[in-house]
Structure 1
Amino acid sequence: MPQHVRGVIAPGRNEPVRIETIVVPDPGPGEAVVRVQACGVCHTDLHYKQGGINDDFPFLLGHEAAGVVESVGEGVTDVAPGDYVILNWRAVCGQCRACRRGRPWYCFDTHNARQRMTLLDGTELSPALGIGAFAEKTLVAAGQCTKVDPAVAPEIAGLLGCGVMAGIGAAINTGNVSRGDTVAVIGCGGVGDAAVVGARLAGAAKIIAVDIDERKLAKAKEMGATHTVDSRTADPVEAIRELTGGFGADVVIEAVGRPETYRQAFYARDLAGTVVLVGVPTPEMKLELPLLDVFGRGGSLKSSWYGDCLPSRDFPMLIDLHRQGRIDLGAFVTETIALDDVEKAFARMHEGDVLRSVVVL
């Protein structure tokens, strides 16, 4: 029997979000219905609202979530009703060329639920990142459910579903930060601060946080940055070079997603250093670099999609590290809010005074 729940939709480009009744079908083969307990307000949801991802409105927003499996469809064996899970948007297929080469974090055919959730009038919804978790319940592919230790509160655990995993993974998985490395992180929102945490966890000797907001720089310092650069008053490229003996950082993580900050990252790295783009650009953005500089500086220019994570491997590991006190996932939660407050949370995101607002259901 289909269920009716409350959910937050984005009806059109740059229109205010609103609460609607969502029809959640019974799970079909390979699907699961999850009772959502908490969901972070991620910048990617704002991108969806602004039409920066695509124009498949209306969107059912929310994707950074934890909850409990309520029911599963035919053929589902990895999760069962009652399992506490983090939702992920990389349910790997196991059959594509990346999976068969032992690189499932690059899976080209990730799974989403085949059925669509709808409004009461039958209008089909596009769930953000195939999840749609600003709702009391959501329908996902069973592979999007990653079981973790239920001892960690959902408002904390759910953050691994996107931003925190993206940042930590950008440092550890994509950037391959090693003991003794110098690392610079440009953009110190939730993803950038998670990259700081990842760099510290990997044993980086020097972690330089760059931003235009003093509050964000102070938070990055709390998260483990050893140095900060206010790029309103200092050239970040020159400042990073000065802090690294004139050479530049071994790894520079760009967590903004803009051409200007990417150029800064490119020139702030050491010769043969690595640039990691984890900030999400919008479709109209273009990047221009002298090809001779790309050739002459060597190294690696990488993009980090979801922190190149494998949820089944990385989520339980990071939950364990949190329980051991080696990382503090709770430090990312600025406030907890209700479903009705999502539009206000987007406004606060613009103001820069939150690291993460988390909807608790």
Structure 2
Amino acid sequence: MPEVAHPDLTRLKWLGHALSPYGDKDWVCRNISRDEQDWRFLIGVGSRHFVLPALHRALVAEKMETEPPDDAREALEGVYLLNRERNRALRAQMLELSHLLNGLGVAPVWLKGATTLLNEDWAASARMMVDLDFWIEDERAYDNILATFDLDGYQTCEGDTGENHLEHHHFAPRYKKGRPASVEFHKSPCELKFQDLLDGARAIDRVEWIAWEGTEIGQLCAVDRLMNSYLQCISFHADVNRPDDRRLTAVAHFSKTLDFLERFAASQTSTKDEFFQRLRAGRRMSDARKFFSILKLYFGLEAGLDVDASFLKSIVFATRHPKFVYARYMAGHAWKTVIDGRLGPPGAWWTKIYRHARNFHER
């Protein structure tokens, strides 16, 4: 692959354009690599970001599935086939849960990736999912639902009392033996800090109710589904990664980004217009410009928003100098910990020092 700014960013740009419905497919075909080092990198990122099935599908669509080295090609095809079987099991779990909730007199509003399994072509979906999310707006039903989950075998993780989810937008995740996914029961369709962009009180009035396989369920309206997908993307960096980390894989989760791009591509013009109107009326246009700057350069989507050039430069800098960026974070974090008086017991110091030293070495 020809280098642009940094070889890792060139590989990530190739991956983004290969996956994206807006990608430059001619450039992707011209620059596909047969180098094992490139494919070790791509398989590693694709695995961590849950896009290996989507990459296999993209290669097949461009008739490039025979181009990767043999082991990479076999891995991609194998994960794609396994994911189809997993999606079949996830759909069965969704149906089981829908029957369970309907029996309590409530209809779940399925969220995020779960809605892709409601489509007619669900079997062809390359989306990888760890959990299933649904939302119930009526607070009066919560205690009954949680008690029924307990009786049905859906339990929280051992030691998780749920106290850390009291002010959260969903209850503690629940797991049931023999079921493929954990379940997140939402009190709100998105994080509470994003209610200016997706307010549950307004969203419930626009829910699309569906009769599905003998059950009654719902999904958000088209613009709310698009907004929810977008919010998943911009919350990824703040919630999962350190705020000083500007590497591309830390500010853009490829699976979440691909979900947004596919929903955006399938949206009607009126849906896109309402989406951008809501963005501009909200309080987070800086986040939007950063996100759409990434989409333009690394995924091929030109949405008309101003490019945040300094943010893109910070991605290049963090990629070229990851140890420096992490060392700067550690210094700032250590000083803030002292100022805030959050040192904790001495044993915890060594745990943190060891973890940070390991992370620094791995950069």
TM-score normalised per structure 1: 0.31
Normalized per residue, which structure has more helix? 2
The structure whose Rg is larger is 2
